Structure 1
Amino acid sequence: MEHAKFKGIFPAFYACYDEVGEVSEEKTKQLVNYLYGKKVKGLYVGGSSGECIYQNLDERKQTLRYVAEEAKGKLTLIAHVGAPSTRDSIALAAYAEEQGYDALSSIPPIYFRLPERAIQKYWEDIMDATKLPFIIYNIPQTTGYQLSLDLFKKMMANEKVIGVKNSSMPVMDIERFKAAGKENTIVFNGPDEQFVAGRLMGADSGIGGTYAAMPELFLKANEFVTAGKFEEARAIQKEINDIIIALTSLEANMYAVIKESLKQRGLHIGSVREPLQAVSEHEIDKIKEITMKIEQSIAKYQ
């Protein structure tokens, strides 16, 4: 396994809809090309940012296909295939392999509180369905399950498991997973608000829901950390956090705000799907201010 292709900045890909709220091939491919032009390492497709729990199986396959058609061979592609049932997750995994994805990833099973042996079997059943490597997704604030070191070690015994996308808030978790992993285990920092801290604690890469709103800033932050320019890295993390706080300060869902900001910069990828809350007319001017802040921060570091 060529682990180097999993090291870098991976925007969590947004769901792209047309004017009536259906998955749009045109807009999906426009977003792929936009991010490719920013020189990100790869894309994490079909996760929270992709509104996966609000899409049916066919819609999720559409997005996987559209992204692969435009990005395969140009970007490292990770398919998130977590779904309410093992059957659907396996179907998505097999489809992602057919489309040429580089790796699979999944949250643990949601809704029911399952014992760890059931969570382990769920992930193993997904892995058994394809030959692709697998990345665990730990996001306890939405799934209700905090990945334990015991289960992590059991999972790492499987040669297909190459890493973990850790979105728990304690930065210590990154250090613990890195220390308990295999020699080449890839740890992805999840919380965008602590990207720099996560990298310093051992994260090799980052996957984040706000990356596509400001890829230039995360690429520069990663560059600073790699170069050992820690004061500069801390300063750019502050600017990133100021923007994230603004993005989450409105009534609209954060992804709706990001999509409106991208629209104001010329990239139209639709809104969000209910029950996520769309942008209201009275919020447009506030989003213009956020967009200006993003543009000013990018200009500062170019």
Structure 2
Amino acid sequence: MSVQLGWVRTFVAVYRLGSFTKAAHQLGLSQPAVTHQIRNLEQAMGRSLFERLPHGAQPTQAADGLIREVQGPIDLLSHAVDRAFGDDPAARPLTVAGPVELTTTRVIPAISDLASDGMRLNFTFGLADDLLDRLEDDEFDLVISTVRPRGRRVTATPLVDEEFVLVASAELAGQLPLDRLATEGPDVLGDIPMISYAESLPIIRRYWHTVFDRSLTTPPALVIPDLRGALAAVKSSAGISVLPTYLCAEELADGGITPLIEPEIPPLNTFYLATRRGSPPHPDLTLLHGHLLMKAQLWI
């Protein structure tokens, strides 16, 4: 049995939407037509592609393999047809969202060549959970997330790991018993002010648990909801903080700030590139996605 292009297009829609009914609505087909096309494709491949569930369709391992091969060409063909008939999704900017610090210091400089070549992008800043919810609601084309996405309509690709470091200004570090910190723990720091981007000290508490195996109950002296502001406060000797190394690489290199301890295994956090499965992607998304994966190796 020869495979028809329409079957493959229908397969991509069902895979991304997780539903025969939603795929039929998106494609303008009846649900029996979608079911018939998927069955024909399964018969041609000799493998089951979806497990039918009461409220959707779960892709099989064979479907996971097939989507990697066919979604790119199907998207390119769809975009070519859209352009030919005057419905060009590239007429709108590509919408990208992520944390303000990484986006402004690494992502935007990394895509300057794409912008100069004519790519149009609109950026939004925010916290990961909110941005991922809005991605599922079709508000964004791409989200750079500090947490691994879990939604059925979202697919995630690891981008880069960020490493965290406990830092103080060189002046303040000179007043601390750093030779005792590794062996005696953070109690030797006394009541030195803590600088955090949130009242709950999420990064610092995780660092304390990972490096010192201690819980942290001290409230922050300064709460600055932008890590660049926290870095500025550390440089001015206002206190200590835990910051990602990509953000303070220059200050560490020139001695403006100093790491207080160098653990054998520093805490890491992974950034993800999150995109939605639910609708055809913007024609520039594949280019941006690959470009960021390539550039990210130089960031950390």
* TM-score, length basis structure 2: 0.23
Structure with more helix by fraction: 1
Structure with more strand by fraction: 2
Relative CO higher for 1 or 2, CA cutoff 8 Å, sep ≥ 6? Answer: 2
The structure that has the greater radius of gyration is: 2
